[in-house]
Structures are given as structure tokens and as C-alpha cells.
Amino acid sequence: MTGITSITSTVTASFLGSFVEIVEAFTIILAVGVTQSWRAAFTGSAIALVLLAVLVLLLGPLLGLVPLEWMQFVIGTLLLLFGLRWLRKAILRASGIIPLRDEEKAYAAETEMLMRRAADRRANFLAGAAAFKAALLEGVEVVFIVVAAGAGREGMLGYASIGALAACVLVLAIGATVHKPLVKIPENSLKFAVGLLLASFGIFWVGEGLGANWPGGDLSLLPILAVFAAASLIAVKTLRHKLYTEAENNL
Amino acid sequence: MKLLKSAFGELPGIFVDDGALAVIVLVLVAVTGLAVRTGYLDALIGAIVLMLGCLLVLVESPARALRRFFYDG
């Protein structure tokens, strides 16, 4: 039971987190490909992925040298920062304080910028650079999610990698079919779920790093997740009500 | 080189969005870590205290953003 909980939560967190990041990279790379050239899009992305692979191959073995407790503590802290950042933004979007992320708008903005640079003699290089940056930054986030979701327990890194790979294949499959920005993805709901998972993992790993004996072992992730979810949903409801009340008072 | 610098320069943004939230979380982690390591708090209690602190921060940060939205324009 404990093993199933670990595997399910690891694969889910890795899959959902990677999915959202890859969709964001896909939007930019698609804009580059459609507006400038597919060669620039693929070259920029490929260079970023090679650089990422080199970094992972160089730094990956170093993870094995770090004592497990320290790694759990540090990665747990980074997961907390990462997860709470996503949760905060998801709460702000769900309560209407900031607008939902619009892949179509992001695509239009990127396309407009690329078109403005089209007359530049370095247009292909600049377009490739945009694809490179998008693939690198989102790729680093995917690598972090995979490492963070999988590094705290032996054998979980493989499952986390499978989750990320599945997400990549799915985004590419959908993208190849629709040839458009993936606007119908409920991005904020996904980010909400990922934020909850990562923040919960963060608390769990920091606790493990401190030497906490969580009751039920990995099953403790479930009540931690439930508490974060309840607090986040109450925050959304309260903020929505306050926003509505303030807006009415200002009329 | 400039491109790499620009790309890697954006990496801290992966972890920090609201500076105050990030600082408070780091302080919470440091204080609970210290309290547990010095034997002042049991490790499990420390982790639960950290969780409660993070929940407070999580609720306070968007509330602060809402106040800025209305009162700072």
C-alpha cells in the first residue's frame, strides 16, 4: 500500500508538473516554427535539450554523494518554494485577482515579437534563441520536478522520469495533431493540483530530512495534501468574495 | 554567452515569485530546522509547525496581493 502511494504520487506529480511546463515551451517553439522557421525552432530546442542532458549527466551522479537526509531537506525546501509559488499564483488566478494564463495570447505575443524582428538580418538566430530559452527554462523546471519528485526514495527517480516522458509524448502528440497552441488545457487547474502535490512533497521531505517519523510513512502525504487543498480552496472562496464585495463598493 | 547568461539569469524566478513569501518560507525552514537540531522541538512536531507556518503564508500572500490590487491601483 505504501509502495503504491509513493509510486502513484511520484508519477502523478512528475506527469502533471512536466505537462504544464512542456505546454508552455510548446507554445513558444510553435510560434517560432510558424512565424520564422521550423529549422530555427528545432535547432534552438535541440541545443537546449543537449545542454540539459549534459548538465544532468554531470550533476546527476553528484546527487548520489549527498547524504540522503541532507538531500531530502534541501530538495524539500526547494519543492516548498516551487510548490507554494505555483499554489499562490493558482489561488490568485482562481479568485480572479489576476487573469488566467492564456496560451493563445502568449502565442500571439510571441508571434508579434518575432514578426517585428523578421526584417533583422539575425532574425533566424533570434528566433532560434527564443526557442532555445523556452526549451532550456521549461526543461530545467521539468528536470527539477523529476529529481524532486523522485530523489527522496530509492527507485522513485525512474517512475518520476516515466511520468515526465509520458507528459512529453502526450504534448507532442496533441501538438502534432492540432498544430495550434493548446488552449483547451485547463492550465490553472493543473497548476493548482501540481502546486498542492509539490508543496505537500516539500513538507514531507523536509520532515524526513529533519528525522521526522511520519505516521503511516508515505501515506502521510495524503493528509498533508488534504490540509493544503482545504486551505487553498478556502483562500480562493474568501478572496473571490472580498474581490466581489470591494468591486461592488467601488461602483 | 549572452544568451546563456540571460537564460540562466531567469532560473531563480522558478523558485521565487513573491519575494516576501520566499523569505518567510526560508526563515520558517531555518528556524524549525534549528529548533529540531538543538532538541528544542521533536522532528515531527517541527514538520507540523512548518506546515502550519507555510499555510499561513500561503493564505496571507494572495490576501496582500488583493489589497495592493485595490489600494495601490
Burial bucket for residue A231 (CB in 10 Å: 0-12, 13-18, 19+): buried
CA distance B20 to chain A (A): 11
Contact A140 B14 (CB under 8 A): yes
On whether the pTM is more than 0.90, the answer is no
pLDDT of residue B1: 67
Contacts of A117 (CB under 8 A, 6+ apart): A123, A126, A127
Test mutation, A21, A74, A80, A203, chain B, max B CBs within 10 A: A80
The share of chain A scoring above pLDDT 70, in percent, equals: 90
List chain B residues with pLDDT less than 70. 1-8, 10-17, 71-73
Nearest residue to A29 (alpha-carbon basis) of A173, A118, A131, A177: A131
Contact A227 B7 (CB under 8 A): no
pLDDT of residue A1: 41
| Mean pLDDT, range A117-127, rounded to an integer | 75
B59: nearest CB among A212, A231, A243: A231
> Is the separation of the CB atoms in A200 and A86 below 8 Å?
no
| Residue A98, pLDDT above cutoff 70 | yes
Residue A197 Cα to chain centre, angstroms: 11
Contact B62 A214 (CB under 8 A): no
More confident call, B31 vs A174: B31
In this predicted complex, what is the ipTM?
0.84
State the Cα torsion A236-A240-A246-A249 to the nearest 10°. -150
CB atoms within 10 A of CB A64: 9
pLDDT of residue B8: 67
By C-alpha distance, the chain A residue nearest B56 is A231
> Is the separation of the CB atoms in B10 and A137 below 8 Å?
yes
The H or E element spanning position A128 is: helix A123-150
pLDDT of residue A234: 92
Taking only residues 17 to 46 of chain B, the set having a beta carbon closer than 8 angstroms to any beta carbon of chain A reads: 17-18, 21-22, 25-26, 29, 32-33, 36-37, 43-44, 46
pLDDT in tens, A27-58: 888 888 888 788 888 888 888 888 888 877 77
The share of chain A scoring above pLDDT 90, in percent, equals: 12
CA-to-CA dists, residue A160 to A147, A152, B11, B65, angstroms: 8, 11, 21, 34
Nearest residue to A193 (alpha-carbon basis) of A94, A103, A105: A94
> Is the separation of the CB atoms in A142 and A22 below 8 Å?
yes
Residue B72 to residue A60: CA distance in whole angstroms: 45
Which of A13-17, A43-47, A117-121, A157-161 has the lowest average pLDDT? Answer: A117-121
| Mean pLDDT, range A142-156, rounded to an integer | 78
pLDDT in tens, A214-232: 988 888 888 999 999 999 9
Nearest residue to A135 (alpha-carbon basis) of A14, A12, A23: A23
| Mean pLDDT, range A191-213, rounded to an integer | 90
Which pLDDT band holds residue A184 (cuts at 50, 70, 90)? Answer: low
Most confident stretch, A73-87, A151-165, A223-237, B55-69: A223-237
| Residue A153, pLDDT above cutoff 80 | no
More confident call, A28 vs A206: A206
Mean pLDDT of chain A: 83
